[in-house]
Amino acid sequence: MNKASATIDDNGLSVSNSASDERRKGDRRQWPTRRLRHRRRRIQIPAFLPLLLIAALSLTLLLVVYSWQSAKTINAETQLYGESITKALANVSNEALTDLIAEQGQSPMLQNLKQHPHFLYFLVESKFGERQLVLEGHQSGIGIPSLPLSASQRVSQGNRAFTTLKKTVGIVEFYAPIKTSGSHVLRIGFLKPTFYWQPGAQYYFLISLPLVLLTFAAFSSIFSTYLPMHRLGQHFSSMNEGKEFETIDNSQTKSPLIDDFNALIANAKNIVREIEVKQDALEIDRKVLYFDKLRTEAVLDALPLGVAVLDVAGSVTYCNKQFLHFFPGASPNIVGKSFSEWSPSLAVAAYVQSGRKSGGVKPGELQYEYAQRGNHTKVASVSMQTVQAADSGNSLGELMIIQDVTSTLHNKRMSEEFAIKAAHELKTPLHVVKMYSEMLMEDDLEPDVRVESLNTIYDEVDRMADLVNNLLNIAKIEMGNITIDKTRVKTSEFLNDIYDSMIRSANNSTLTVVKDIPESLSTIVVDKDLLRISINNLLSNAIKYNREGGEVRFAAEETDDAILISISDSGPGISEEDQRHIFDKFYRSEDAEIRKKSGHGLGLTLTRNIVQLHHGSLTVESTLGEGSRFTIAFNKKSNIVERGRV
């Protein structure tokens, strides 16, 4: 049931087949020792057996050769002895022979014969085959062979060799006719050994065998142990010198030690390979994790928020780049330090400390001024909450998020102010209309006052309508609700058209209007009605804020990068302070001369909004006492300008 199941182990680093993995682990733990022991038992026995066998065989061979040589020497001696004693006995007289037989071997001559170690028998045979045993040797059990002599043998001296019937014993027999009797033959038999054991040879054998064995054992151990050890030693020192971790060639030596060593090396290599594979996997995982970390940090650093994590003790364990922007003056190394150690604002540190104890700080609960930029104070809003590990639910610390709320607060204040100012601006003409109409109710009003009142009421209603339109347009643009109806427009035609209608409505003015609009301008793609409002606003401002007999210049030009539409006046100019705020909603100069002209401070705001809606820019240049120039620029890189179309 080796059902392979892919599992992710604890640290989630690798995916592996758990069943085979465990088996492999088990193998690795037991396999080398078991294998070593097994090999040693099998190899040690045959290593000694042939040696023992060879030793015994060589020793035996040596002994056999030696005993064979000994036997040859002895047989030669026996030959001489046999021949001489046979000759001597053949020449004995009949009586003497009878005596010898009668003495039963007691005579000194026969004593000598009897003492011979290989003497078997001495008999006298008649011509009828009658045998008379004269003397028998000590070698009993062999008996006297019944081999008869041939006729020729009976008349001459000689010897013959034969074996017993069982062919186990070789015999040499000397024969000769007894001279005095003439009819009797004597036969003397000796053992003729093939091998001869010297007396005591077995002791030499017993003594030399262990010596030989020891010598062989010594050689064997030298060959089987010392040499492989020596090779191993050399191998180790070469490995220590940093050479490759390699096995030793054992095809010639066949040393079990080297086999074991090779098995160890192979095993070690396997383990090293497995470790390397795992290490590679770990390295990849580490790189992936590091990449993840970098990405997460990059994302956190890109946030427009300050993000920090405080540990349970209140020390900062992480903060992104933005975080420090909210604490100008704090050292850049705040990680590992508690809030009160580094925070330049003691109040914030105290609040954070109490927030940690009470379980967080809700968004909007803590706001503080952290920096000054120009005239504005920058305000940060802090929120803090406990972060819990997704798996265990343990607290990982407090996540602190700091947000710049300056513009939010500013926008809030601006929209409140906008509402107040809009109401105020609407009330003023209402106020005027109400008072003039009340005055008109007087019966005895002078006719010229009556006319003036009616005119004023008429103008103020116009002004109100204008104001309401502007307010609506600004609100639409700012809320993104306006629909831009873009059409392709011939720039010069469009500007000339605006110029013509302006000239018609301002024909009773003392101003000189200069127009400088080339025919060859590129076409633009704009919302004609909206852009007309913008340009009309600028033109009517140039007329309104001008001196008696002054000049209005309405010009356009095309550069390499942009189309520029400019409206210049020869009015009192705009102070630097006013230039900074001139596009703000409801802003009006404090200059009394300018305030004498009616206005509600929305025209330039709307003009700029419209230009920006067309990805253009509206700028002002002005010199006090000389005049001002407003310039609308449409960059050719935007798709407003259609290059080359006329």
Partner 1 sequence: MPMILIAEDELHIFRVLRISLERAGYEVEHALNGEEALEFIRNSPPDALITDIAMPKMDGQELCMRITEELPERTFPIIVATSKADIEHREWSRVIPSLTFLEKPASLRALIALLADQVPVDE
Binding stretches for partner 1 (CB under 8 A): 420, 423-424, 427-428, 430-432, 434-436, 438-439, 442, 449, 452-453, 456, 460, 588, 590, 592, 595-596, 598
CB of 547 to partner 1, least distance (A): 19
- Contact at 8 Å (CB) between 499 and 536? no
Residue with Cβ nearer partner 1 (596 or 643): 596
3 state DSSP class of 269: helix
CB of 569 to partner 1, least distance (A): 22
Task: Please tell me the distance from the alpha carbon of residue 212 to that of residue 558, in angstroms, as a whole number.
Answer: 120
Going from the C-alpha of 427 to that of each of 430, 456, 579, 598, 600, the distances in angstroms are: 5, 15, 27, 14, 11
Q: Parallel, antiparallel, or unpaired: how do β-strands 512-516 and 551-558 relate?
A: parallel
Q: Which two tokens stand for residue 340?
A: 């009160």
CB of 588 to partner 1, least distance (A): 8
CB of 430 to partner 1, least distance (A): 6
Query: Is the four-CA dihedral 23, 24, 29, 35 of positive or negative sign?
Result: positive
Residues 490-523 as b or e (16 or more Cβ within 10 Å = b): bbbebbbebbeebeeeeeeeebebeeebeeebbb
Residue with Cβ nearer partner 1 (42 or 424): 424
CB of 609 to partner 1, least distance (A): 25
Residue with Cβ nearer partner 1 (430 or 468): 430
CB of 425 to partner 1, least distance (A): 10
CB of 443 to partner 1, least distance (A): 12
Residue with Cβ nearer partner 1 (342 or 436): 436
Residue with Cβ nearer partner 1 (239 or 440): 440
CB of 457 to partner 1, least distance (A): 9
Beta-carbon count within 10 A of 124 CB: 20
Task: Please tell me the distance from the alpha carbon of residue 19 to that of residue 5, in angstroms, as a whole number.
Answer: 7
Residue with Cβ nearer partner 1 (235 or 585): 585
Closest to 476 measured CA to CA, from 609, 611, 618: 609
Residue with Cβ nearer partner 1 (246 or 590): 590
Residue with Cβ nearer partner 1 (167 or 596): 596
CB of 422 to partner 1, least distance (A): 12
Beta-carbon count within 10 A of 559 CB: 9
CB of 463 to partner 1, least distance (A): 10
CB of 324 to partner 1, least distance (A): 41
Phi-psi region at 347: left, alpha or beta (left = phi > 0; alpha = psi -120 to 50): alpha
Residue with Cβ nearer partner 1 (18 or 456): 456
Residue with Cβ nearer partner 1 (294 or 449): 449
CB of 428 to partner 1, least distance (A): 6
Contacts (Cβ under 8 Å, ≥6 apart) of 424:
none
Give the total residue count for the chain: 646
Residue with tokens 């590091």: 290
Residue with Cβ nearer partner 1 (376 or 424): 424
Task: Please tell me the distance from the alpha carbon of residue 297 to that of residue 289, in angstroms, as a whole number.
Answer: 12
| Strand locations in 9-103 (E) | 15-17
DSSP 439-457: HHT-TT--HHHHHHHHHHH
Task: Please tell me the distance from the alpha carbon of residue 176 to that of residue 186, in angstroms, as a whole number.
Answer: 6
Residue with Cβ nearer partner 1 (212 or 432): 432
Task: Please tell me the distance from the alpha carbon of residue 441 to that of residue 362, in angstroms, as a whole number.
Answer: 61
Q: Which two tokens stand for residue 432?
A: 């005027």
